[in-house]
Structure 1
């Protein structure tokens, strides 16, 4: 039997956790195992993993095929350098497997260890591209409010969740934010006859013109904003964004770190709107979180600029673990399983069931002001009053009540997010909804 008190003492004395503050770590859950969509704590409590780790454990916990892929590759070649002049078989095979998989024009991959590194790589590639084309002033990046792109320094500067900024400022210059296409709480102005999608796209065009097109290098966007509140854009938004980026010669970076590899019911989310980016960032689902891996895919036109450079203008960007053979071997097996089980289609079906269940809760509980989602990426938003949309201030209470009843997920203020592993069953979806209903009844009396 594991001595939980001894483990907690070691934890508190020696581990600085992400987003750390002691007040948030007085009684943590200590997980010791997982199976399928379930997590088990050291004291024997079992909970549905309602956020798939951090949006990433697509195949669920305890997948033996992924474990065996890692073991087999480690026994042969765990690591080698992938700097220019060397390589390894899994990385080569994975880059080939990913060519054209997300979008037809994205055929070249650079590997990283995660999402923040991927977005840092995207920002540097934007600068490189425009410098090589004789436009060195095109360095500004436009992002959106509520965006999450990581919290390394440049990624944090692109992130539009202001709580991440104050204690680490000054931010990197050249990053600016416009309103998100947030149908429930759009923060910009809407002109007569305009939809939220049209207004949010117009905000992008106005920002480009205000800053000067010759200074704006890229626009970055999550197809569905995850950590900022599971914000699903209107259908008329991204086609207009693509047109605007083309009109003003601005590169479009799609941050598909969360939405990639089936999460939204399609293999990649922008497909829903018939749009292709110039650069795509990915991570999380590429290995189902079993090992750290991410990357960017670049369009053929960006590839040509890199490949045609003279040696003294080479793409001087690198990470020690880029193209890590074990991580790439696990990714290859992960992609094989995702496609074999057709989990993108399964996510679409289970997501529709989850959304329907949450809409049923909204009919029962007035505190639910909004229900939204795309595939297995859903949320409810809690309000005191549906007319005023004043936040209820009960998100954390609901999270704790759900934990007590066997569901572990995330409250983003009063937004309650759901993104379980893609392997979830109908029964498990229904149980998740039932727990939320029982928990809401408990906290509002």
Structure 2
């Protein structure tokens, strides 16, 4: 079957049977899939029509080591041949999960030393809320149930994770949320303090924050923000949870995003880059102190767990992934290429009448669009989705964020990016921005 016929067949089957996540259902039904990918290699994805594109978002912030790594396939194959799956419930265990937990304890910030494995980020965040609340039950303070999160935050789409997400459209989607979640301004320690006082410190279990807000528009905390947050949590005896689902394992030019702020969390959620997308895996880490409370005060069974918690193949893939990240110097490369990415974004910003507010930390970057750079006035109809479409035509995949009156492009290319590939990304993006700017030139002046 030739590729054109196959494309038409798959497109129709897609529209009829495949309910896509985080997708416009009407657009899917009208147009079918924009790309039907067949394979990936390095920083590029290839589709049935023979097109290639730089994966400027590492697909979903996760393909850190790039596509098509044969050593990852061999690692998975060898593990599946010997032990594809076994339960970690009760007292059952296996070497891949044990080795990975020990490796994570070795590289994690602060005193994080115990790991609960999940299948992904949403499960990791839901697990953190449950473990935090159970911790306070064990401590004799069962009224500490409330989880405080930030506006513009994204913590996943499971029920608890949705309830913690600060982006209101995600919460509105279901119309029914889990109780005991509160929200504060994403940049204001004072707002956190006020919310704690308003709710009553004795009712608050934990505060959760992403070191860099990713899906919410790529926002970097102000100078001193996380140190002040840590101080407030300590003052009121509240657990600090960092959501490192996007920011961990080299993405920000450090092993973990919170490393940039010299702050140690009580719990840390992770997923995505732990396997670079080659297998489904996530988890939550606890400090030695929290772990000791669970050991000393628990009676009976810890009644929380997923079928694939500690999946042996996924854990083996994660260990190989971390080996590659370290042996190939990808954390340092993310730092250097992140500087190059930001330099290119700032150049586009300087030359464009509509691009503004370029920012990055490692290989997480963003560029916004404004009608007036002096007043930060926005366009009535966001431009970022139009730039995404123009970039895709030219061979670059990126993402737009238009929640909460934002008009932002976000990027997170693989950590293996070379200078030449980064230059190509900039060139395509510059052309895409110019193409959109031409269509709104009268409005921009």
TM-score by length of 2: 0.94
Deviation at 1:180, TM superposition (A): 1.0
Map Cα deviations across residues 251-287 of structure 1 (whole Å, 9 max, x no partner): 0000000000000000001111110100000000000
C-alpha distance in 1, partners of 2:152/2:350? Answer: 27
Query: What residue is the counterpart of 2:90 in the other structure?
Result: 84
CA contact (8 A) 1:306 1:315 kept: no
Gaps of 5+ in 2: 439-445
Query: What residue is the counterpart of 2:441 in the other structure?
Result: none
Query: What residue is the counterpart of 1:400 in the other structure?
Result: 389
Query: What residue is the counterpart of 1:269 in the other structure?
Result: 257
Q: After superposition, where does 1:50-69 map in structure 2 within 5 Å?
A: 50-69=56-75
Q: After superposition, where does 1:251-400 map in structure 2 within 5 Å?
A: 251-312=239-300, 314-392=301-379, 393-400=382-389
C-alpha distance in 2, partners of 1:282/1:417? Answer: 20
Map Cα deviations across residues 312-361 of structure 1 (whole Å, 9 max, x no partner): 3x421111100000000000000001000111110000000000000001
CA contact (8 A) 1:367 1:386 kept: yes
C-alpha distance in 1, partners of 2:24/2:262? Answer: 43
Structure 1 segments of 4+ aligned residues over 2 angstroms from their partners = 19-24, 309-312
1:176 aligns with 2:182: yes
Q: After superposition, where does 1:162-241 map in structure 2 within 5 Å?
A: 162-181=168-187, 200-241=188-229
Deviation at 1:388, TM superposition (A): 2.7
CA contact (8 A) 1:351 1:374 kept: yes
CA contact (8 A) 2:155 2:243 kept: yes
Match of 1:98 among 78, 85, 104: 104
CA contact (8 A) 2:138 2:298 kept: no
Map Cα deviations across residues 85-134 of structure 1 (whole Å, 9 max, x no partner): 11111011101111131113001001000000000000000110000111
Query: What residue is the counterpart of 1:441 in the other structure?
Result: 434
CA contact (8 A) 2:395 2:428 kept: yes
CA contact (8 A) 2:15 2:32 kept: no
C-alpha distance in 1, partners of 2:86/2:357? Answer: 49
Find the residue that maps to 1:228 and give its secondary structure. Answer: coil
Match of 2:159 among 149, 153, 159: 153
Deviation at 1:369, TM superposition (A): 2.2
Query: What residue is the counterpart of 2:442 in the other structure?
Result: none
Map Cα deviations across residues 10-40 of structure 1 (whole Å, 9 max, x no partner): 1111111102433232242111111000000
Match of 2:115 among 102, 109, 112: 109
Deviation at 1:311, TM superposition (A): 2.9
Deviation at 1:396, TM superposition (A): 0.9
Gaps of 5+ in 1: 182-199
C-alpha distance in 2, partners of 1:27/1:369? Answer: 33
CA contact (8 A) 2:110 2:265 kept: no
Map Cα deviations across residues 160-208 of structure 1 (whole Å, 9 max, x no partner): 1111122312211111111112xxxxxxxxxxxxxxxxxx111111111
The two structures, once aligned, show a CA RMSD in angstroms of: 1.0
CA contact (8 A) 1:292 1:327 kept: yes
Query: What residue is the counterpart of 1:190 in the other structure?
Result: none
CA contact (8 A) 1:265 1:375 kept: yes
C-alpha distance in 1, partners of 2:152/2:27? Answer: 22
C-alpha distance in 2, partners of 1:50/1:167? Answer: 28
Match of 1:432 among 425, 429, 433: 425
TM-score by length of 1: 0.94
C-alpha distance in 1, partners of 2:258/2:345? Answer: 24
CA contact (8 A) 1:70 1:330 kept: yes
- CA gap of 1:406–1:162, structure 2 versus 1, over 3 A, is same
